[in-house]
Amino acid sequence: MYNKFPFILTGSVTDLDDDCACPDTPFVLQLEVDEAQADEDCACADGVSTAVFSPTTHTTYTQTAVSHTMPLPHNFHLAFSPFAPTGPSVLNSAAWERFQAFAVPQPLREGIDTEFAKQMLIQPTDAAIQLQSGNPQTLTAWIHITNACNLDCPYCYVRKSSARMEPATGRRALDAIFSTAQKHGFRRVKLKYAGGEAT
Protein backbone atom coordinates (compact mmCIF):
# COMPACT_ATOMS: atom_id res chain seq x y z
CA MET A 1 0.00 0.00 0.00
CA TYR A 2 2.67 2.54 1.00
CA ASN A 3 4.58 1.85 -2.22
CA LYS A 4 1.68 2.44 -4.61
CA PHE A 5 1.91 6.25 -4.71
CA PRO A 6 5.24 8.05 -4.87
CA PHE A 7 6.31 9.84 -1.74
CA ILE A 8 9.53 11.24 -0.36
CA LEU A 9 10.42 11.73 3.30
CA THR A 10 12.77 14.61 4.00
CA GLY A 11 13.84 16.78 6.87
CA SER A 12 12.30 20.13 7.58
CA VAL A 13 13.79 23.34 6.23
CA THR A 14 12.97 24.90 9.59
CA ASP A 15 16.22 25.90 11.24
CA LEU A 16 16.05 24.17 14.61
CA ASP A 17 18.34 25.53 17.26
CA ASP A 18 19.21 22.57 19.49
CA ASP A 19 22.19 21.24 21.47
CA CYS A 20 24.72 21.39 18.65
CA ALA A 21 27.49 23.88 18.04
CA CYS A 22 26.76 24.37 14.35
CA PRO A 23 29.24 26.55 12.48
CA ASP A 24 28.15 29.31 10.16
CA THR A 25 27.14 28.02 6.78
CA PRO A 26 29.53 29.71 4.34
CA PHE A 27 27.54 28.63 1.31
CA VAL A 28 23.82 28.55 0.71
CA LEU A 29 21.80 26.59 -1.79
CA GLN A 30 18.05 26.38 -1.49
CA LEU A 31 15.06 26.54 -3.79
CA GLU A 32 12.55 28.14 -1.47
CA VAL A 33 13.00 30.60 1.35
CA ASP A 34 11.54 29.46 4.69
CA GLU A 35 11.75 31.99 7.49
CA ALA A 36 10.41 29.62 10.19
CA GLN A 37 12.91 29.08 12.99
CA ALA A 38 12.70 27.47 16.40
CA ASP A 39 15.04 28.26 19.28
CA GLU A 40 16.20 25.58 21.71
CA ASP A 41 19.65 24.98 23.22
CA CYS A 42 22.16 25.35 20.41
CA ALA A 43 24.95 27.65 19.41
CA CYS A 44 23.96 27.38 15.77
CA ALA A 45 24.47 30.42 13.60
CA ASP A 46 21.89 32.12 11.43
CA GLY A 47 19.75 30.01 9.20
CA VAL A 48 20.41 31.57 5.82
CA SER A 49 18.18 31.04 2.84
CA THR A 50 18.87 32.04 -0.71
CA ALA A 51 16.68 31.03 -3.63
CA VAL A 52 18.86 29.75 -6.46
CA PHE A 53 16.38 28.80 -9.14
CA SER A 54 12.72 27.99 -9.52
CA PRO A 55 11.76 24.50 -10.74
CA THR A 56 9.29 26.05 -13.19
CA THR A 57 11.85 28.09 -15.15
CA HIS A 58 13.72 25.16 -16.70
CA THR A 59 12.53 22.74 -19.33
CA THR A 60 14.33 19.48 -18.57
CA TYR A 61 15.97 17.95 -15.51
CA THR A 62 18.35 15.09 -14.87
CA GLN A 63 19.74 13.36 -11.79
CA THR A 64 22.33 15.41 -9.92
CA ALA A 65 25.67 13.83 -10.79
CA VAL A 66 26.99 13.84 -7.23
CA SER A 67 23.88 12.32 -5.63
CA HIS A 68 24.31 9.19 -3.55
CA THR A 69 21.67 6.47 -3.34
CA MET A 70 21.42 3.20 -1.47
CA PRO A 71 18.72 0.60 -0.90
CA LEU A 72 16.94 0.39 2.45
CA PRO A 73 14.74 -2.40 3.85
CA HIS A 74 11.16 -2.85 2.58
CA ASN A 75 11.80 -1.45 -0.92
CA PHE A 76 12.74 2.03 0.28
CA HIS A 77 15.79 3.92 -0.96
CA LEU A 78 17.93 6.62 0.57
CA ALA A 79 18.82 9.45 -1.81
CA PHE A 80 21.16 12.26 -0.90
CA SER A 81 22.57 15.24 -2.72
CA PRO A 82 25.30 17.25 -0.98
CA PHE A 83 23.32 20.32 -2.07
CA ALA A 84 20.09 19.19 -0.34
CA PRO A 85 18.70 21.84 2.01
CA THR A 86 17.30 19.28 4.45
CA GLY A 87 19.68 16.32 4.28
CA PRO A 88 18.96 12.81 3.00
CA SER A 89 15.59 11.76 1.60
CA VAL A 90 13.85 8.40 1.80
CA LEU A 91 11.93 7.33 -1.31
CA ASN A 92 9.32 4.60 -1.50
CA SER A 93 9.44 2.24 -4.49
CA ALA A 94 7.11 4.39 -6.64
CA ALA A 95 9.21 7.51 -5.98
CA TRP A 96 12.40 5.52 -6.61
CA GLU A 97 11.05 4.35 -9.95
CA ARG A 98 10.19 7.93 -10.92
CA PHE A 99 13.61 9.17 -9.75
CA GLN A 100 15.30 6.55 -11.92
CA ALA A 101 13.47 8.00 -14.95
CA PHE A 102 15.59 11.15 -14.57
CA ALA A 103 18.65 9.21 -15.70
CA VAL A 104 17.42 10.58 -19.05
CA PRO A 105 16.68 14.34 -19.15
CA GLN A 106 12.97 15.12 -19.04
CA PRO A 107 10.52 17.78 -17.87
CA LEU A 108 8.84 17.87 -14.47
CA ARG A 109 5.60 15.97 -15.05
CA GLU A 110 4.50 14.61 -11.69
CA GLY A 111 4.10 16.25 -8.30
CA ILE A 112 6.98 14.23 -6.86
CA ASP A 113 9.30 15.73 -9.49
CA THR A 114 9.16 19.14 -7.80
CA GLU A 115 10.13 17.49 -4.50
CA PHE A 116 13.14 15.90 -6.21
CA ALA A 117 14.13 19.35 -7.48
CA LYS A 118 13.67 20.93 -4.03
CA GLN A 119 15.96 18.29 -2.55
CA MET A 120 18.47 18.85 -5.37
CA LEU A 121 18.25 15.19 -6.36
CA ILE A 122 17.61 16.40 -9.89
CA GLN A 123 18.90 19.55 -11.53
CA PRO A 124 18.14 21.51 -14.69
CA THR A 125 20.05 20.28 -17.72
CA ASP A 126 20.60 23.90 -18.81
CA ALA A 127 21.97 25.28 -15.52
CA ALA A 128 24.75 24.24 -13.18
CA ILE A 129 24.14 24.26 -9.45
CA GLN A 130 25.64 27.43 -8.01
CA LEU A 131 26.81 27.92 -4.45
CA GLN A 132 26.25 31.41 -3.11
CA SER A 133 27.96 32.95 -0.11
CA GLY A 134 25.81 33.24 2.98
CA ASN A 135 25.59 36.42 5.03
CA PRO A 136 25.39 35.54 8.74
CA GLN A 137 23.96 38.28 10.96
CA THR A 138 24.44 36.64 14.37
CA LEU A 139 27.70 35.94 16.15
CA THR A 140 27.12 32.96 18.41
CA ALA A 141 29.43 32.17 21.32
CA TRP A 142 29.23 29.19 23.64
CA ILE A 143 30.80 29.88 27.04
CA HIS A 144 31.71 26.96 29.30
CA ILE A 145 31.30 28.44 32.78
CA THR A 146 31.47 25.40 35.06
CA ASN A 147 32.31 21.70 35.27
CA ALA A 148 29.83 21.19 38.14
CA CYS A 149 27.10 19.58 36.07
CA ASN A 150 24.92 17.13 38.00
CA LEU A 151 24.00 15.13 34.88
CA ASP A 152 25.79 12.00 33.64
CA CYS A 153 25.43 12.20 29.86
CA PRO A 154 27.33 9.31 28.23
CA TYR A 155 28.66 11.52 25.42
CA CYS A 156 30.06 14.24 27.68
CA TYR A 157 33.82 14.79 27.52
CA VAL A 158 34.01 17.01 30.63
CA ARG A 159 35.39 15.54 33.84
CA LYS A 160 33.02 16.65 36.61
CA SER A 161 34.58 18.95 39.19
CA SER A 162 33.91 22.13 41.11
CA ALA A 163 35.98 24.14 38.58
CA ARG A 164 34.26 27.25 37.31
CA MET A 165 35.10 30.30 35.25
CA GLU A 166 36.24 33.29 37.29
CA PRO A 167 33.92 36.32 36.94
CA ALA A 168 36.80 38.47 35.61
CA THR A 169 37.50 35.87 32.91
CA GLY A 170 33.83 35.84 32.00
CA ARG A 171 33.76 39.65 31.68
CA ARG A 172 36.86 39.59 29.44
CA ALA A 173 35.27 36.87 27.30
CA LEU A 174 32.07 38.92 26.91
CA ASP A 175 34.06 42.05 26.06
CA ALA A 176 35.98 40.11 23.40
CA ILE A 177 32.79 38.60 21.96
CA PHE A 178 31.01 41.94 21.63
CA SER A 179 34.13 43.65 20.31
CA THR A 180 34.52 40.94 17.66
CA ALA A 181 30.85 41.22 16.70
CA GLN A 182 31.14 44.98 16.25
CA LYS A 183 34.43 44.73 14.34
CA HIS A 184 32.99 42.23 11.83
CA GLY A 185 29.58 43.85 11.35
CA PHE A 186 27.36 41.30 13.10
CA ARG A 187 23.94 42.69 14.01
CA ARG A 188 23.26 40.31 16.91
CA VAL A 189 25.14 38.32 19.52
CA LYS A 190 23.79 35.04 20.85
CA LEU A 191 25.32 33.68 24.04
CA LYS A 192 25.01 30.05 25.08
CA TYR A 193 26.21 28.78 28.41
CA ALA A 194 27.63 25.29 28.98
CA GLY A 195 28.07 23.40 32.21
CA GLY A 196 24.88 21.38 32.40
CA GLU A 197 22.31 21.75 35.15
CA ALA A 198 24.63 23.91 37.20
CA THR A 199 24.23 26.75 34.68
Distances, alpha carbon 122 to alpha carbons 61, 77, 79, 160, 191, in Å: 6, 15, 11, 49, 39
Check if the beta carbon of residue 181 is closer than 8 Å to that of residue 132: no
Average pLDDT over residues 141-170: 87
Domain borders along the chain are 8-132, 137-198
Q: Is 146 helix (H, G, I), strand (E, B) or coil?
A: strand
How far apart CA 171 and CA 50 sit, in angstroms, is 36
**pTM (two decimals):** 0.52
Residue range 107-149, pLDDT digits in tens: 999 989 999 998 999 999 988 777 666 678 899 998 989 888 8
Mean pLDDT score across all residues of the chain? 78
Provide the residue type at 144 as one letter: H
Q: Is the dihedral of CA 34, 122, 58, 129 positive or negative?
A: positive
Residue 47 exposed, middle or buried by CB count within 10 Å (0-12, 13-18, 19+)? buried
